[in-house]
Amino acid sequence: QVQLQESGPGLVKPSETLSLMCTVSGGSMNNYYWSWIRQPPGKGLEWIGCIYYSGSTNYNPSLKSRVTISVDTSKNQFSLKLSSATAADTAVYYCARQAGTMPGAPYFDYWGLGTLVTVSS
């Protein structure tokens, strides 16, 4: 059973970089895309972007200028960096395994528990 666990600071100051890590256990990262998805308190889901195990990335155009996703398959981890954070970036951040085809028909079959990141001074 694949499990994902997010980790990182729960509080980030405005204008700083939000950094999170996702650790994958119970399965290989090979041959899959791995995604970050966020959910502001009381609101809906927003896809941030994904990375293939080999390192190729796809980002949400609305966030692309501020997002970097990287992967370290030797550690079974992938990470998110979101620069120039503002209060609008306050959300629960989920990491997820992306199944289906990319591009074209991606979906998310395993999710982490999520971690709340608050952007505030």
Partner 1 sequence: SYELTQPPSVSVSPGQTATITCSGDTLGNNFAYWYQQKPGQSPVLVIYQDFKRPSGIPERFSGSNSGSTATLTISGTQAMDEADYYCQAWDSTTVVFGGGTKLTVL
Name every residue whose Cβ is closer than 8 Å to that of residue 39 and which is 6 or more positions away in sequence: 45, 46, 91, 92, 94, 114
Q: Residue 82 in contact with residue 63, Cβ under 8 Å?
A: yes
Q: Residue 115 in contact with residue 10, Cβ under 8 Å?
A: yes
Give, as ranges, the residues between 11 and 30 that touch partner 1 (CB under 8 A).
Answer: none
Does residue 104 touch partner 1 according to CB under 8 A?
A: yes
Stretch that binds partner 1, among 10-18, 19-27, 45-53, 74-82 (CB under 8 A): 45-53
Does residue 68 touch partner 1 according to CB under 8 A?
A: no
Binding interface with partner 1 (CB under 8 A): 35, 44-47, 58, 60-62, 94, 99-100, 103-109, 111-114
